[in-house]
Amino acid sequence: MTGSHDADDAVDCAEALSKLFEFLDAEIGEAEGDRIRLHLADCEPCLSEYDVSEHLKKLVRRSCNDSAPAELHERIRAQLTVLRTQVERD
């Protein structure tokens, strides 16, 4: 059993966004991934960024099976930076 009422476990937008890439790359632990997923499910600005990120990652996977070229990664990161700035402005 896990008591999930603890506010210390909550992820805020900044943390969720900063870990979005690691989350999508499955580079973070399961527990932390769950916390981020929980936040995303409940937070519209983050969720929309998550959708975009996942969409981009699918495009990357489709265009090259194994690893994305660094240039494409850069482009995605730049795109996310723009989105992040928009979220912060709202």
**Chain positions contacting Zn ion, by CB under 5 A:** 13, 43, 46
Q: How far is the CB of 1 from Zn ion (least distance, A)?
A: 27
Q: How far is the CB of 45 from Zn ion (least distance, A)?
A: 6
Instruction: Give the helix/strand (H/E) hosting 20.
Output: helix 20-24
CB-based contact 12:45 (threshold 8 Å): no
Q: How far is the CB of 86 from Zn ion (least distance, A)?
A: 13
Residue closer to Zn ion, measured from CB, 32 or 68: 32
Q: How far apart are CA 65 and CA 55, in angstroms?
A: 15
Residue closer to Zn ion, measured from CB, 13 or 80: 13
Q: How far apart are CA 12 and CA 77, in angstroms?
A: 20
Residue closer to Zn ion, measured from CB, 20 or 43: 43
